[in-house]
Chains A and B, each alone.
Chain A
Amino acid sequence: MQITNLETVPGKTIHQHLGLVQGSSVRAKHVGRDIMASLKNLFGGELKGYTELLSESREEAMERMIRQAEAVGANAILNVRFSTSSVTQGAAEIYVYGTAVILE
Chain B
Amino acid sequence: MDFQFWYILILLIAAYFIGTYIEKRHYKSIISRENELNTLPAVSLRKPPSGPFHQQLVLGNVTISVDYFKRFLAALHAFFGGRITSYETLLDRARREALLRLKESAREQNAALIMNVRYETASIYKGNGGNIGSVEVLAYGTALIPQRTLTQDGQLP
Whether the Cβ atoms of A7 and B46 lie closer than 8 Å is yes
| Residue from B55, B67, B115, B133 whose CB has the most chain A CB atoms within 10 Å | B55
**Residue B40 CB within 8 A of the other chain:** no
Whether the Cβ atoms of A84 and B50 lie closer than 8 Å is no
Interface membership of chain A positions 38-49, coded 1 if the CB is closer than 8 angstroms to chain B and 0 otherwise: 001111111110
Whether the Cβ atoms of A42 and B138 lie closer than 8 Å is no
B11: min CB distance to chain A, Å:
7
**Residue B129 CB within 8 A of the other chain:** no
Whether the Cβ atoms of B142 and A54 lie closer than 8 Å is no
CA distance A47 to B138 in the complex (A): 14
**Residue B82 CB within 8 A of the other chain:** no
| Residue from B11, B53, B68, B124 whose CB has the most chain A CB atoms within 10 Å | B124
Interface residues of B in 101-138 (CB under 8 A from A): 115-116, 118, 120, 122-127, 133-134, 136, 138
| The 8 residue pairs across chains A and B that have the minimum distance between CB atoms | A44-B67, A84-B122, A50-B63, A44-B19, A4-B55, A43-B18, A47-B63, A45-B22
Whether the Cβ atoms of A54 and B141 lie closer than 8 Å is no
- Number of residues on chain B facing chain A (CB within 8 A): 47
Given A8-B48, A10-B53: A40 in contact with B122 (beta carbons within 8 A): no
If A10-B50, A11-B52, A51-B136 are given as contacts, then 10 extra A-B residue pairs at C-beta distance below 8 Å, sorted by A number, are A6-B48, A6-B55, A37-B134, A42-B11, A47-B65, A51-B63, A58-B61, A82-B118, A84-B122, A86-B124
Name the prevailing secondary structure of the B interface residues.
strand
**Residue A2 CB within 8 A of the other chain:** yes
Neighbouring B residues of A48 by C-beta, 8 Å: 63
B7: min CB distance to chain A, Å:
12
**Residue B57 CB within 8 A of the other chain:** yes
Neighbouring A residues of B118 by C-beta, 8 Å: 5, 81-82
